[in-house]
Chains A and B, each alone.
Chain A
């Protein structure tokens, strides 16, 4: 073995042969490894958004709008700060819990419960998107927030808000569709025929990531 050349063939042919050779670095299903790598790249995208938000917030000379007041809801004549955001956070955490259990039941080959829990997760995701639509409407129509300015303070507030929550909301929407498709396939027995429920876990990874990103958005955008 020691006399084997560094590459199989000289030049790029050897590189291609090596890179496409039948070697496995991660002992997990390929779909799971690919999902992790996709999520890693997504981490960088969201981090770029949050970093640019940090940058514009640090560099603006106008005061940053008070998020506790901007995102307050009036309940019974009282302004409760960040109430809607708190509810949205709880809904997303709940959906992560149902998803984790769906993965568990999937590996137990419990077709019905897996599908039920996944549809519940998708429904909670839909609920989250609905509340986000309500929040956007409130901000755009009633508070006059625009990507280029707003009546409450720093103009950069609007562009940061729409970019960050918009991209996250898009991920949730995509996730709802993704989960619905996988859940339907669970119900139809597709994964029983395929012989593995790993797709449920892979979809779960995506969904937990969406929840994970929200943890950071909640901390940095809404609470900071």
Chain B
């Protein structure tokens, strides 16, 4: 008896290994173009939006916003810009889920590092205040 796993392995189309490296994209857009082909218009739009959001981040500093509002806006604009770059310019939006997960999930581990180092930084600060600052 042939197991399901084996069937799936044989089902992988041979075209994946040939010249057309983006079968999902080619299928989704109905083109036979090679590799990642997207309209120039889309790139220009993202380009423009990156300018706009960079200007917004700059305005946060220019108008001297402070406190939670400043930090929230900085992070929101940063994440929007980062998503545009990764999704459109780096073509992640059109890659297959296997690649997306392999690249985008591991950095989440960094949140733990950031959390730990924030606790550590706080502790060092308090120790310094208690011991050295008169």
Contact = CB atoms under 8 A, between A and B. Distances in A.
Interface of A: 1-2, 24-29, 32-33, 36-37, 39-40, 43-44, 47-48, 51-52, 54-61, 68, 81-82, 86, 89-90, 93-94, 96-97, 99-101, 103-104, 107-108, 195-198, 201, 204-205, 208-209, 211-212, 215-216, 218-220, 222-224
Nearest to B62: A81
Interface string B54-94: 10011011101000000100110110011001101111000
Contact of B128 (A59, A82, A107): A59
Q: How large is the interface on B (under 10, 10 to 19, 20 to 34, 35 or more residues)?
A: 35 or more
B74 A59 contact: no
Contact of B99 (A36, A57, A101): A36
A51 B36 contact: no
B98 A55 contact: no
Contact of B74 (A89, A205, A223): A223
A27 B50 CA distance: 30
B102 interface: yes
Given A101-B43, A196-B35, 18 more contacts: A2-B3, A26-B96, A27-B23, A43-B110, A47-B114, A52-B117, A55-B118, A55-B121, A59-B124, A68-B61, A68-B64, A96-B50, A107-B37, A204-B90, A216-B82, A218-B78, A219-B78, A223-B74
Nearest to A43: B107
B86 A212 contact: yes
- Most interface-central of B3, B22, B35, B50 (chain A CB within 10 A): B35
- Most interface-central of A26, A82, A196, A204 (chain B CB within 10 A): A26
Contact of B44 (A2, A33, A97): A97
Contacts of B51: 90, 93
Contact of A81 (B38, B61, B114): B61
Nearest to A212: B85
Nearest to A99: B89
15 contacts: A27-B23, A36-B99, A36-B103, A40-B107, A48-B113, A51-B113, A54-B117, A55-B118, A58-B125, A61-B129, A81-B62, A208-B89, A211-B85, A215-B78, A220-B78
Contacts of B17: 24, 27
Contacts of A89: 54, 58
Nearest to A27: B16
Interface in B18-68: 19, 21-23, 33-38, 40, 43-44, 46-47, 50-51, 54, 57-58, 60-62, 64
Secondary structure of the B contact surface, majority rule: helix
A58 B96 CA distance: 40
B89 to A, nearest CB: 5
A20 B33 CA distance: 31
A159 to B, nearest CB: 15
B95 A93 contact: no
- Most interface-central of B36, B40, B60, B90 (chain A CB within 10 A): B90
The 4 closest A-B pairs by CB, nearest first: A58-B121, A59-B124, A97-B47, A1-B6
Contacts of B34: 107, 196-197
Contact of A33 (B54, B99, B110): B99
B118 A215 contact: no
